[in-house]
Amino acid sequence: MTILNHDFLALTLANPHSIAPFELDFPSGTGVVEDTGIFRLEPHQAKQDISLVLSVGVHGNETGPIELVNELLIQILSGRLTLGIRLLVLIGNPVAANAGKRFCEVNLNRLFHGGWQGYQGFEAKRAERLEQAINDFYRDLDEKHTKLHYDLHTAIRGSEHEKFVVYPYVKEARYSKQQLSFLAASGIDAVLLSHQATTTFSFHSYETYGAHAFTIELGKVYPFGQNDLSRFTQMESSLCLLLEEGTFAQSEISLLSIFTVLDALIKDDESYQLNIAEDANNFSQFESDFLLSSSKKSEYRVKQSGDAIVFPNTNLPIGQRAGLVVRPISAHDLSYV
Ligand SMILES: O=C(O)CCC(=O)N[C@@H](CCC(=O)O)C(=O)O
Ligand SMILES: [Zn+2]
């Protein structure tokens, strides 16, 4: 088996359920395709002790980041980019990607950190397999080794901040200045600081391995072939620098708008409604006391003028997150590591 034309995405989509493992050489290192959508690359000469997981397509229809990372792989495999750190690329949900869907049976990004237990079907198996791949990749690294996991997504809606990240819930609320500066340099506009543990991929890597891990939203969802990859230029440049030199591009944290997550809105009944326009953007703000959601069982009123909604979505099963309510805060109010 080989990766024809260095096109790992094409190989993955042609074999969405499984691939027998195989090894390959490329000009600056060696690689192993461990399974479908799971590709580990080891540099001949590591410039820094950094192990980077780049995951894309955890939601199958979020194709822009998949195309971006596939392009980076083509550059590495063809020798145009010299790999200087360890790299694990994960294409999360190839079956849903082929179907042009967010997921097939269950939202994969709610099944990590053991959340797959108790579920059947492709996504449950896939979450377990992806967790295993990360565990294998991070195994036996010493204390001073830097573990990174950037989980790249695109959002269903337009947004007042086109590119933003979810910083998973971290103990003692201490945030990495180096990573935030890297995100600012990568074209990220805003950061949401999570208020609780979740079963997302980025939370799993932070909580289990102490990785610097983020869900990174790079714009709006488009089908394969319809993404304007020029919108990812800053992220691409930062990733190239990191992959080649093990260096983090840095910009002022003050470029970032920071939001704390106040509440997760949970769909608690079939009657659950969000009182927002169909086409409302992420980060739409509301006045104090506005009735943001209501159902036969509950209502949610906005606590303070300026509070905003991110990821509003009611097209999901009861018990799942229908949105996040966020509030702007100053970067000066954060504690940093
Ligand atoms: O646009 C939307 O509503 C969803 C975009 C998306 O997939 N977001 C992630 C965020 C994960 C996190 O909170 O870290 C998701 O919902 O899984
Ligand atoms: Zn997503």
How much is the ipTM here? 0.97
State whether residue 309 is helix, strand or coil.
strand
Token pair 């083509």: residue: 74
Residue 16 resides in a domain:
yes
Q: CATH code at 78?
A: 3.40.630.10
Is-contact 132 208, C-beta < 8 A?
A: no
In tens, the pLDDT along 76-99 reads 999 999 999 999 999 999 999 999
Residues paired with 252 in a beta bridge: none
278 annotated to a ligand binding site? no
The finding on whether 166 has its CB within 6 A of some atom of ligand 1 is yes
Q: In the annotation, is 67 catalytic?
A: no
Please tell me the residue having the least CA distance from ligand 1 atom 17.
Answer: 109
Residue 19 resides in a domain:
yes
Q: Ligand 1: distance of its center to the CA of 49 in Å?
A: 30
Nearest atom in ligand 1 to 321's CA: 16
Contacts of 29 (CB under 8 A, 6+ apart): 41, 42, 43, 44, 76, 83
Residue 336 resides in a domain:
no
Q: What is the pTM of this model?
A: 0.98
- Containing domain of residue 21, as a range? 4-255
User: By C-alpha distance, which of 230, 228, 234 is closest to 216?
Assistant: 234
To test ligand 1's pocket by mutation, which of 102, 191, 282, 311 has the most ligand atoms within 8 angstroms of CB? 311
State whether residue 191 is helix, strand or coil.
strand
Domain count, the chain: 2
State whether residue 52 is helix, strand or coil.
strand
Tell me the pLDDT of the chain averaged across its residues.
97
Residue 313 resides in a domain:
yes
> What is the C-alpha to C-alpha distance for residues 70 and 76, in angstroms, rounded to an integer?
10
In tens, the pLDDT along 11-31 reads 999 999 999 999 999 999 999
Is-contact 175 336, C-beta < 8 A?
A: yes
